[in-house]
Amino acid sequence: MELTKTAFIENFKKRLGQKYALDVSDATDSELYDTLCSLVKSSYSAIWRHTWKDYLKENEKQAYYFSIEFLPGKLLKSNLLNMGWYQLVVDAFQELGLDFEKVAAVEPDMALGNGGLGRLAADFMDSLASEGYPVNGNGIRYKYGLFKQRFVNGYQVELPDEWLKTAAGNAWEIRRASKAVTVTMGGHVNLVQENDYLKPVYEDAILIQAVPYDVGMVGYHNQHVNTLRLWSAEIPDEAESQYPTIEDRRQIEDITAVLYPDDSNESGRRLRLKQEYFFVSAGIQSIVRHYKKYHEALDQISQRVAIHINDTHPAMCVAELMRILLDEEHLSWEKAWEQTVKVMSYTNHTIMAEALETWDIPLMNEIQPRILQIIAEIDHRFVTALAGKTDGQLIERTRIISGGKVHMAHLAIIGSHSTNGVAQLHTDLLESDVLHDFYTLYPERFNNKTNGIATRRWLQLANPRLAEVIDQTIGRNWRQDANQLQQLLDHQADSQLLDQLVQVKLANKQRLAKVIKQQTGVTVNPQAIFDVQIKRLHAYKRQLLNLLRIIKLYLDLKENPDLAIVPRVFIFGAKAAPSYHYAKSIIKCINETAALINHDQTIQDKLKVIFLENYGVSLAEQIIPAADVSEQISTASKEASGTSNMKLMLNGALTVATLDGANIEIKEQVGADNIFIFGLTKQEVYQYYQDHSYHSLDYYQQNPLIHRVLNTLVDGTIPNISAEGHEIFDSLTYLNDDYFVLRDFEAYLRIQDQVDETYRDQHKWQQMSLINIANACHFSSDGTVKKYASEIWNVRSVAQKGGV
């Protein structure tokens, strides 16, 4: 990939001429973008080819990461960075008189995920390629990504995300029609004895063509490119005549039309189950086909193949591999099962009951009757094997089919050799509570893999100013090995460095202030504390706690306009699932509070509240480098890990946190003095569950401050929230405040006072910030994937690291 600027310019002009018959000066940004991508893609294509050919030559064991969500954002800059071309292209564009940023902005975000789970999958893809592991992604090429969020009168409105509609489409993908497979769904199935096995005979089944679109996952400076394979549903050529009308065609094409934007509601469940089976079946068929091309014995497949089930959505991988090994390859049940369990591994990403999927048996039967038969047989054998050996009730609680439903987490755990949580507390909770029964049965299968983030995207790309200061301080090796960031700890007393951190933060805040002005029309003061809460909108994440504090500050300032507070800009970014009414009410309340405060002349610059629309990867890249304070304030025990906590600390924000998810490990790394911890612990929350002693109404009735703040939701102080204000008020009082917002309120106020006090001492603040940046290396996804590779998948790194 060695290239000079002159050669690049020449190639670029030539490619533009070939593609569009244009000179640079005549081309639009979109044409320039498309040309640049095409050049980049053709440059890594040879490496891509070598990568997978080397896997074959070396007979490498490969792992496949199955995830219903991937949230890569934009790929141009990260591909340029990883290829070592970034600066060269920026310089070349300058020489050509072109605006690189404007051209790069043409790229649509690839938003094929809802939030943390999908972004984690994307960070893992980056790290797996950068660490040289033979691991490929497998998911769905949704025609519409996660909805585009707009605010109309303060309400969230969802618009379709037509990411493929831009002139260049998805510049990174390669449609591989020759690798299509056929997925069978619906109808009925009968088992007919044939020789010594049972042959399934399908009736009235629908055949769907699954066409893969491959996207290269480029490793960092290491000549290694993995594949993210995304499947699209089409009508098979031979079946065209069976789908004469547009409606008929839609039945098939809709399978990969929209990303299911909700992990908690009923609507669209049938489609969701179809999506799950579709990408599972397509992916497993293609893995087996590939394996068979180069290996004979399917009874040894676990030596060459590992399959990862990312959350329960791909749990049918277990049954689908069994189906192929039994029905198509005629392995015995015992052999097929032994291999399947060895091949599969599973990550749990939540303890929220509503996100632990179950499916009604009739629905499962309707979508894929053979898969239901196989799951029923797995269930039957599981029960039979344990009967008489262990407590009957435990068997009932852990079996896959019960209460008329198929329990997908049970299928994933029983059918795999590894189950992991995503932060130590989360794994402990899985073992001791949520999945305790399974832990009793299979203690050896449980392990923890704390999440991580890709420092390339979240520091090198998102925060080039900070990256440069780090280069000047400790050299560039940290770019290749994030652990080197720890060397920053030797520079805590370097006041010049601390001053530089101030300047970097200020510049990033000025940059974000422009975005805020553009999007909301509100002017914010970059000297104020930028206090950031960015994550999906969910009651347990407690954006509401933040809002109540904002209201309290507002009331204080109205009472005493001269109150000496450190000015703050509260910045929210969050999408609510379209059917999650309560979360949408919180959005409305935040927006109306923002309007009230931002237009109140008496408040001036002391307080501003900004809710940025359409939070996603690209917006996160603007917000995170500008944050001073990172809000990680979920109810203890509810947030599996969190990853914005890691991204924000990496960019020097200080964390205000409950002892939840990975916050606990962040505290362990930075030390209690360098993080602001408050609130109930997991033990205290569980104690409340046990003794039912929490009565939130008492807090409202007996605490004058809480009384005063909550009243603003219903007494007209905050206008235009009559329905939403009452809904939230009731949930926090009469409905007993499920997430202990009122219980933690005063502790939250106290810790925020400490934040103000610390911020006033800028030297101390910057030192703490430096300590956070340095210790963020413990949360690099490079380190996380190494543990998955060696401890779960048993795959080895095959690429040499390059320079920095």
* Positions that interact with ligand DL6 (CB under 6 A): 115-117, 120, 263, 311, 349-350, 352, 355, 422, 451, 639-643, 661
With tokens 């002391």, the residue in question is 606
Terminal C-alpha separation, the chain: 14
Bridge partner list, 218: 225
Q: Classify burial at 57, counting beta carbons within 10 Å of its beta carbon; exposed 0-12, middle 13-18, buried 19 or more.
A: exposed
SS3 463: coil
* Smallest gap from residue 585 Cβ to ligand DL6 (A): 19
Task: Give the pair of three-digit tokens for residue 645.
Answer: 């906590």
* Smallest gap from residue 280 Cβ to ligand DL6 (A): 18
Q: Which residues contact 672 (CB under 8 A, 6 or more apart)?
A: none
* Smallest gap from residue 633 Cβ to ligand DL6 (A): 13
Task: Give the pair of three-digit tokens for residue 149.
Answer: 């969020």
* Smallest gap from residue 634 Cβ to ligand DL6 (A): 8
- What's the number of CA atoms in the CB half-sphere (13 Å) around residue 410? 21
Give dist(CA 97, CA 268) in Å, integer. 49
* Smallest gap from residue 389 Cβ to ligand DL6 (A): 33
CA-nearest of 392, 405, 437 to 419 is 437
* Smallest gap from residue 535 Cβ to ligand DL6 (A): 8
CA-nearest of 515, 462, 355 to 73 is 462
Angle at 129 between CA 127 and CA 130, to 5 degrees: 60
Give dist(CA 733, CA 725) in Å, integer. 12
Nearer to ligand DL6, 422 or 620 (CB): 422
* Smallest gap from residue 345 Cβ to ligand DL6 (A): 15
Give dist(CA 113, CA 69) in Å, integer. 4
* Smallest gap from residue 661 Cβ to ligand DL6 (A): 5
Could you please report the per-residue DSSP string of 524-541?
--TTSEEEEEES---GGG
Phi, psi angle pair for 693, to nearest 5°: -90, 0
Nearer to ligand DL6, 641 or 769 (CB): 641
Catalytic residues: 349, 535-536, 541, 643, 647
- Which residue's CB comes closest to ligand DL6? 116
* Smallest gap from residue 68 Cβ to ligand DL6 (A): 10
Give dist(CA 12, CA 88) in Å, integer. 12
Phi, psi angle pair for 12, to nearest 5°: -65, -45
Nearer to ligand DL6, 646 or 742 (CB): 646
Task: Give the pair of three-digit tokens for residue 534.
Answer: 């960015």
* Smallest gap from residue 45 Cβ to ligand DL6 (A): 31
Instruction: Determine contact, residues 615/72, Cβ cutoff 8 Å.
Output: no
Give dist(CA 762, CA 501) in Å, integer. 11
Give dist(CA 377, CA 357) in Å, integer. 20
CA separation, residue 564 to residues 271, 561, 592, 750, 751 (Å): 55, 9, 25, 16, 17
Task: Give the pair of three-digit tokens for residue 409.
Answer: 């987490």
* Smallest gap from residue 638 Cβ to ligand DL6 (A): 8
Nearer to ligand DL6, 22 or 356 (CB): 356
Could you give the strand order of the β-sheet that contains 358-360, starting from the edge strand earlier in sequence? 358-360, 405-407, 401-402
Give dist(CA 754, CA 550) in Å, integer. 16
Nearer to ligand DL6, 640 or 659 (CB): 640
Could you please report the per-residue DSSP string of 102-168?
HHHTTSPPEEESSSHHHHHHHHHHHHHHHTT--EEEEEE--SBEEEEEEEETTEEEEEEE-GGGSTT
Instruction: Determine contact, residues 227/136, Cβ cutoff 8 Å.
Output: yes
Which DSSP letter does residue 793 get? I
Angle at 332 between CA 327 and CA 333, to 5 degrees: 85
Nearer to ligand DL6, 156 or 643 (CB): 643
Nearer to ligand DL6, 190 or 264 (CB): 264
